[in-house]
């Protein structure tokens, strides 16, 4: 994307921020957008869970960054897949199959599976499925904690 295109898109986005918030039907949103929202939701959830465990921002940040990494999200998604209904599986599949650039910090599979997790979380959030979202977040957090403790014990 050229810088001029970026500037024009940014200007349009900033102008839209002043308008009333209206989102498309979450089932019609680009999976990258769902994943972006899911990343924010999961990051906030994790940090809110970690704050009571340590008053140190650095500790909360370091633990939070590890927990919300693509590697850990992929492990959580692997553990959750059998518990998802058809609608949730379809959203996760759309997230997993979306085209994106994979960072060096994760394998292609981990990154895609992490994106599937984030898309699912974003979808549940936007659909106001609070009980199911809380269930998914709680299970994911507990599973990731167990994985991290197991890794520490090795």
Are 126 and 37 in contact by the 8 Å Cβ rule? The answer is: yes
Q: Does residue 99 lie within any of the structural domains? A: yes
CB-based contacts of 147, cutoff 8 Å, min separation 6: 72, 75
The boundaries of the domain holding residue 149 are 26-153
Are 122 and 38 in contact by the 8 Å Cβ rule? The answer is: yes
Q: Where are the beta strands (DSSP E) in the chain?
A: none
Q: Which tokens is 91 given?
A: 């959203």
Q: Does residue 149 lie within any of the structural domains? A: yes
Total domains present in the chain: 1
Out of 39, 62, 78, 128, the active site residue is: 39
Q: Does residue 21 lie within any of the structural domains? A: no
Task: Write out pLDDT tens, residues 69-82.
Answer: 999 999 999 999 99
Q: Does residue 7 lie within any of the structural domains? A: no
For position 73, which CATH number holds?
1.10.1520.10
Are 92 and 116 in contact by the 8 Å Cβ rule? The answer is: yes
- Section 9-15 average pLDDT: 76
Q: Does residue 2 lie within any of the structural domains? A: no
Q: What is the pTM of this model?
A: 0.85
78 is catalytic: no
Q: Does residue 5 lie within any of the structural domains? A: no
């Amino acid at each position: 994307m050229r810088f001029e295109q970026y500037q024009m898109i940014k200007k349009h986005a900033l102008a839209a921020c002043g308008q009333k918030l209206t989102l498309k039907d979450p089932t019609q949103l680009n999976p990258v957008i769902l994943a972006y929202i899911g990343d924010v939701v999961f990051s906030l959830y994790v940090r809110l869970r970690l704050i009571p465990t340590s008053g140190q921002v650095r500790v909360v940040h370091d633990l939070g960054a590890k927990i919300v990494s693509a590697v850990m999200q992929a492990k959580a998604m692997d553990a959750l897949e059998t518990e998802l209904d058809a609608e949730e599986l379809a959203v996760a599949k759309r997230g997993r199959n979306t085209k994106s650039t994979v960072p060096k910090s994760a394998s292609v599979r981990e990154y895609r599976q992490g994106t599937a997790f984030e898309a699912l979380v974003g979808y549940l959030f936007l659909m106001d499925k609070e009980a199911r979202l809380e269930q998914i977040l709680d299970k994911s957090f507990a599973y990731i904690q167990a994985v991290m403790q197991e890794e520490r014990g090795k």
